[in-house]
Amino acid sequence: MSDAIKAVWAAIDADPDYVVELTSELVRIPSVNPKFEQAAGLNEEAAVQAVVDKRLKAEGFATEQWDVFPGRPNLVANWDGGEDKSFILCGHIDVVPTGDGDSWARKPFSGEIADGRVWGRGAVDMKGGVAACMAAAHAIRKAGVKLDGRLSIHTVVDEEAGGFGAMDAVKRGKLAKRALIAEPTWGNVVPAEGGLTWVRVTIFGKAAHAGWRFNSIFPQPHVPGRLEPGVNAIELANRFLSALRDFEMSRCRNTWHPLVPAGLATINPGVIRGGAGLGPDGNPLIMSNAAIIPDVVTIDLDYKFLPNEKFEDVKAEFESFVHHFAAADSWMRDNPPKILWDLFDLNFPPLNTPVDHPLVTSVVAHATKVQAKAPEVKGFEAVTDAAHYAGAGVVPVIYGPSGDGFHGKNECVDIPSLIETTKVIAATVIDNCGTR
């Protein structure tokens, strides 16, 4: 272990309350993502960023803020240094709603410090991780360590609703060679996560009066003047979903990555709408009249793929499946389903940093020493902002503290893990940025 790391760890040990109190301060500011719930005093992302900005300026960072959405700013802070050893520490400052706050054992935004934990919404997801990044920088400066490479801290909005804060930072060129995203990993090291996109499949039928349904499903003589039968798009969609399940199972059986659970490449039908007439928003216009044979169904899919898969290949495979499904039906051959990719602009590229990459081995080595046991190196089952940096050519890893109540009630972060995370992040920064 280098003298610089020893000095920084000594600084953290001398003031272990710094990261704890900072976490509590951030939790006490409600910053619920307004896409989920809006109320006075509840959506205070800008107030969180004001605290972060003041703290980082005091550490000598040059800070920059801009609105991703009105009143919802990203913040990027930089210590100058070389680009070859540039490094990003990233965390999101939006949180999910609390639900019934009266059912919590402690007030959801109390930031209470008790029983070895900091309590409140966002404590583990992920204001504790944000605080650990800031505390690591605080300890580096306090120890008098000068970094050779540029260190950036990104605190971004909207991760919980699709990562549009990180996406915006990436689009603006706020990049580096490597990055650490301090999401809660319970002390494990996570260099891989699957990709995710939302896709809409629109299935077309032919509208008709439901009273004439017999004309569609029971053999009728073809006599002059016979009404053209309707084609029920909901029934076509039912057949499609059955075929989709078989296709999904085939993908789960035939795709594999060593760090993620078997069968991760799932395709979840999350929203389905059926009715008559196609509206300007791409959904059925009439969804309240069962007397109409419906002529349109939209199915919104949450489509996961593996860290070692390319989106272009996944896209081509799915489009081939839909094409062959439609080709087996005389109606759909002439009226094929429509596929809309990147629905609502939601698209997470895969993350697949090699386990022997210096960034990964650095985090593993320091976590092993600090935690007194080797961390598990594993993949992430969900998605994080690491995806957006990876898609822009940055090499990321995910590492952060442990806690409970993740997206549930009685959320908390473990204080020992906060201090351990701060130490591991600080040492990883020194390894990657170097010193001068």
Alpha carbon distance 15, 25 (integer Å): 16
Residue 90 to residue 77: CA distance in whole angstroms: 10
Nearest-angstrom CA–CA distance, 310 and 181: 22
Q: Token digits for 190? A: 């996570």
Marked catalytic residue, from 45, 53, 94, 248 = 94
CA-to-CA distance for 68 and 75, rounded, in angstroms? 10
Q: In terms of DSSP H, where are the helices of 66-204?
A: 128-142, 164-171
* Closest to 36 (Cα-Cα) out of 120, 97, 90: 97
Q: What φ, ψ does residue 142 adopt, rounded to 5°?
A: -65, -35
Is 248 catalytic? The answer is no
Beta bridge partners of 317: none
DSSP letter at 282 equals S
94 catalytic, yes or no? yes
Beta strand spans in 173-266 (E): 178-181, 189-193, 195-204, 208-209
| Among 222, 208, 245, 205, CA closest to 329 | 205
Instruction: Using the structure block, give the residue that is written with the tokens 């081939």.
Output: 320
CB neighbours of residue 204 within 10 Å: 18
Task: Give just the sign of the alpha carbon dihedral 129, 130, 136, 142.
Answer: negative
Angular region, 206: left φ>0, alpha ψ -120 to 50, beta rest: beta
Residue from 426, 395, 412 nearest 143 by CA = 426
C-alpha 209/C-alpha 230 separation (Å) is: 8
Q: Which residues make Cβ contacts (< 8 Å) with residue 159, sequence separation at least 6?
A: 92, 94, 165, 166, 384, 385
Active-site annotation holder among 53, 112, 159, 420: 159
Q: Which residues are catalytic?
A: 94, 159
